[in-house]
Structure 1
Amino acid sequence: MEITRITLRHIKMDLLYPFTTSVGTEYDKEIIVVEATGKSGKSGWGESVSIVQPMYNEETVQTNWHIMNDFLIPLLMKAPINHPDDITERFSFVRGNFNAKAAIEGAIWDLYAKEKNESLAKVLGGTKEKIEVGVSVGIQTTELKLLQQIENYLQEGYRRIKVKIKPEWDIKILKSIRKHFPQINLMADANCAYTLNDIDHLRALDEFNLMMIEQPLAHDDIIDHAKLQAKLETPLCLDESIHSAEDARKAIELGSCRIINLKIGRVGGLTESKKIHDVCLEKGVPLWCGGMLEAGIGRAHNLAITSLANFTLPGDTAPSAHYWKKDIISPEVEMKDGYIYLPATPGIGYEPNLDMIEEISFRKKTVDFENSTSKSCDSQIQI
């Protein structure tokens, strides 16, 4: 596999509905779309999942552009890549910056699969033909509005409901949900909104028969989560705390969680995602794939990794129409009876709509590996 060109395009898409968590509300999404072109003439595609503010983690869209342009792409140009797994070692010079690494690595994985004429799911080792779909419900302005949204999603066929919680939007809300929907697969995502001082408060959530409570404590913690898990019947799920297979191993051995939410961007790409999958499989800890409000390219990567055997719980892999008036891929990701059927076509299985991507791009840079040149184009669109 020989890479001849990397193109970065910075786009902005409006969400259909605002999405609120304990750390803030998002109304739109800025995305860096990465295109990796090979000597074969084929292109692979990746997508940065960072947001404009360092709220979920320390990365932003602006830092992603800087790290990709000034460090990661030059590292790729130093020598050929034989296999996408090689990229982890190549990028090890750069600490952290997992979202930026994952975006470029994802594009190269897609290119690799296309040049092998196989689906991305297959080259990753996936075995599934379809995956169960869950949905994440943000914090709403009223309890009634939340219940109505859940009812709508259940009618659409979603197989798991995740609700965002925070202090004063938790026990009363979950009690109401369970009263109206006693049998649904329900989980709560706290996005680091609690501390160990809230142990007794969090123990009250045991009565609601939740699938899990996701990341209730600090974003970088695995010690206090172990103390909390020992006091709860409900399984804890770690999200923000897990950046590598080593993090997963340590958290599991400490008893910090019984479930792990994997996000490709959070852990630096598909290669590390596979390693985390294997650790969890060996330890008997189930996985599910979380979402970062991805557009179609990032969503296609999520579907591919979810095809691996130990992704046994429904993920945040809702179809395109749940988030966007029009997605940047064709066909769009669609759900049928609570499942998304994995494409068998080469690569991610969805074709990026290049005309649309170009139309909504306000910054673009192409780096030509063969001639060691780069071209930039910045428009005057205000964001």
Structure 2
Amino acid sequence: MPSIVEFRAYRVAMHRGRRPESALVALTAEDGTVGWGESALLDEETWADLAQRLGPALPGLEWDRPEDLGGLGALGGPRATAAVEIAAWDLWGRVHKVPVAHALGGTRTSVVTGARIPCQPHLDNLPSLVNRYIGGGHTRVTLEVRPGWDVEALRTVRQAYPALALQVDGACSYTDSPDDLEALESLDAYDLVAIERPFRDLAPHAVLQRSVRAAVAPDIGDLDALDAAITMDAGRALSLRVSRLGGLTTARGAHDRAYAAGWDVWCGGSGVFGIGRAASVALASMPGCTLPSDITEFAGGPEYLTPPLRSHGGVIAVPLTQPGLGHEIDVPRITRLATDELRITTG
């Protein structure tokens, strides 16, 4: 594998100076081939990791496969590491003329998509929002819930759409108090596919899983946490978040362990410029990804990839005829939107 001769990183907002932001990484090999990665930029620490630790370590680095870069996780947080590692997988695939989906072990030619709806200021808005996604072909909707915004919201949607596949995402906002546990248990009456990330700690997930039919999906940030969750019976489903897990290599390992344990799996995308979602499409092509994945396009956003990464009728095609992630990047548009740019070379 040619060594990396240039590291570039861009801090980019879809609309200049406005969130949401992404950190985009470009790795250039000796032969001029470029691989791209992306992660949502949620804090200053992620950008500092790229600028001060990960970026300087990459130029001149010798490696054969992306798995050889596992040590980078000690230099930065998971989001920064994920952006670099996605770029490495894309670069490796382009150099070797191999789609990343194949390199990861993917077997699917298309990925079924779901949609996510954040907490709304008014219950009356929910049925029309859900209808919009159903009309787009999405076969599953995930409602974000919080204590006090859960039972009534879910009842409103279920009454309007009795047969729709529904999940809820608590974003770790619940505690193991009797009131919170009772509220979460009451959601099970609405025929849920999964209850995602209700708590921060694993132990209450195990308590909840014993009392509900829906699969509980704990928030998993590394393989040790997943092993513990499987051992504790603290869930039956896993949301693979590439940025949360620090890259595709660890995410693939998590997929393999969850699949072997009989858990259902789905994938989530990260970032608004399409590169992070393209990585999630490759990951979602793996055989254990049995549930619709959250890889829908950013609402109202322009497209920065060719071919565009769009869901058609609730399905996204896996690019199996193009190397790497299978998309070309609109570099001029991205650089025009960049508020910060880093460039580190071997020279």
TM-score (norm 1): 0.86
- Do residues 133 (structure 1) and 110 (structure 2) align? no
| Alignment size in residue pairs | 342
State the SS of the aligned residue for 1:230. helix
Assess, with a 3 A threshold, how the Cα gap between structure 1 residues 205 and 28 changes in structure 2: closer, same or farther: same
Cα deviation, residue 78, structure 1: 6.3
Matched with 2:54 is: 72
Aligned residues of 2:120 and 2:126 also touching (Cα < 8 A): yes
Matched with 2:182 is: 200
Cα deviation, residue 177, structure 1: 1.0
Matched with 2:287 is: 309
Deviates more, 1:296-305 or 1:333-342: 333-342
Amino acid at match of 1:325: G
Amino acid at match of 1:165: V
**Deviation digits for residues 237-288 of structure 1 (CA, Å, limit 9, x no counterpart):** 122xx12222111101101111011100101101101111111121111110
Unaligned runs of 5+ in 2: none
- Do residues 171 (structure 1) and 148 (structure 2) align? no
Aligned residues of 1:196 and 1:228 also touching (Cα < 8 A): no
Matched with 1:209 is: 191
Unaligned runs of 5+ in 1: 16-26, 52-59, 372-383
State the SS of the aligned residue for 2:192. coil
Matched with 1:351 is: 328
- Do residues 161 (structure 1) and 141 (structure 2) align? yes
- Do residues 342 (structure 1) and 309 (structure 2) align? no
Amino acid at match of 2:317: Y
- Do residues 244 (structure 1) and 245 (structure 2) align? no
Q: Name the CA distance, whole Å, in 1 between partners of 2:40 and 2:336.
A: 20
Cα deviation, residue 350, structure 1: 1.2
- Do residues 93 (structure 1) and 74 (structure 2) align? yes
- Do residues 325 (structure 1) and 301 (structure 2) align? yes
Matched with 2:29 is: 38
Task: Identify the structure with bigger relative contact order (alpha carbons < 8 Å, sequence gap 6+).
Answer: 2
TM-score (norm 2): 0.94
Matched with 1:9 is: 10
Pairwise mapping of residues 17-56 of structure 1 onto structure 2 (< 5 A)?
Answer: 28-51=19-42
Aligned residues of 1:293 and 1:323 also touching (Cα < 8 A): no
Deviation >3 Å, runs of 4+? 291-294
Cα deviation, residue 228, structure 1: 2.0
**Deviation digits for residues 109-138 of structure 1 (CA, Å, limit 9, x no counterpart):** 100000011111111111110010000011
Q: Name the CA distance, whole Å, in 2 between partners of 1:125 and 1:206.
A: 34
Amino acid at match of 1:210: L
Q: RMSD of the TM alignment (CA)?
A: 1.6
Aligned residues of 1:127 and 1:308 also touching (Cα < 8 A): yes
Identical positions, percent: 29
Aligned residues of 2:36 and 2:90 also touching (Cα < 8 A): yes
Amino acid at match of 2:269: G
State the SS of the aligned residue for 1:211. strand
Q: Name the CA distance, whole Å, in 1 between partners of 2:265 and 2:313.
A: 22
Matched with 1:230 is: 210
Assess, with a 3 A threshold, how the Cα gap between structure 1 residues 325 and 73 changes in structure 2: closer, same or farther: closer
Q: Name the CA distance, whole Å, in 2 between partners of 1:203 and 1:301.
A: 34
